[in-house]
Structure 1
Amino acid sequence: MAVQSNSSILVSVASVKEGTETSFTALFNEFHSKLFRFFQKRIGQHDLACELTQLTFIKIWQSRHTLSTDYGMDMQCFTIASSVLIDYIRKCSAEKRSAPTAELEMADTSMVHADGSFETADYIEVATSSLPPVRKKIFLLKVVHGYSNKEVAEKLSISVKTVEDHYSKAIRQLRSIATVSQLFLFING
């Protein structure tokens, strides 16, 4: 009985490799809910899980000629689904890395609230407003966004030594301003 089950899996893989509509429809009907639950459990967003499930089926269709009859269709589907998930996570990570630069360029210039108070982010903006643009960008990427010297250098296409130099000059310049004691409590706290 196990041999029949295994041979039906091989036939299923073989028929999907042939690219018939009926075999792909059968594959879709058999694995759609399983793949959806796989993504839903890991991502936690219904719409995104639907999108990643669809993308998985697209990739299966596009790479159907490379499917192996040595492995079951379930194993190959979930391998492709894992690859889709990893690609999505990498894409999100890359977008997150590029977001701080865009945020810095679109920073709001109104830093004082109606009651005259500052929020931490606003205070940092006021304190760094006297820095030259590149130095300010380096300082904010390091302090606010937590980038390493190497990451800042790669992001801005400059050397690590230049990042270190600008950062140390920014610290010296900010220390010379009497009103930044709270900023350093924030940085060092």
Structure 2
Amino acid sequence: MMPPANVAEHTFEQLFRQWNRKVYHFALSKTNSTYIAEETVQRVFIKLWHNLQTKDLDIPAEVQLFTISRSVLLDVLKEENRRYAVLQQFPEQATAQQDLTQIEYKDLLQEVEKLIAQMPPMRQQVFRLSRFEQLNYTEIAKLLAISKRTVENHIALALKTIRKSFSHLLWLFLLFFNSH
């Protein structure tokens, strides 16, 4: 029997709050890539949400999270390796793609800057410190004299705003910032 939607949603929210940082740090410790860690977290919780919606909960969600995390991380790493292998086979295309990506990046950055400018001042500052200055949440919290949880909330809301406007181009933005 599948759980009612509100029970699954409540369970998911609890699991996300309890486990998202653990999944992130697991992936980060294995790859040393914030991009891969963030991608892994997103995919893990999408799969978990799907499991909560469509499957009987015979296996505890925490066990599912561990299994899903390993599987998703391996999938993401395989995708990155395939992309790297393709770029190595066609170096002139890779260079052309990088040139195009630089142009797209500049246009995208201008649009993201417009979105950031529309955010509340504190959210703007937190987002810029995190994504442009590469400060971690603890450093930002100390610098701005706010809680780490407040920093997390500002980042989550800022990313949500950007995702809504740029869902089809967000990968480019994240890829560029995690490669530089």
Normalised TM-score (structure 2): 0.44
Larger Rg: 1
Normalising to structure 1: TM-score of the pair?
A: 0.42
Greater relative contact order (Cα 8 A, min sep 6): structure 1 or 2?
A: 2
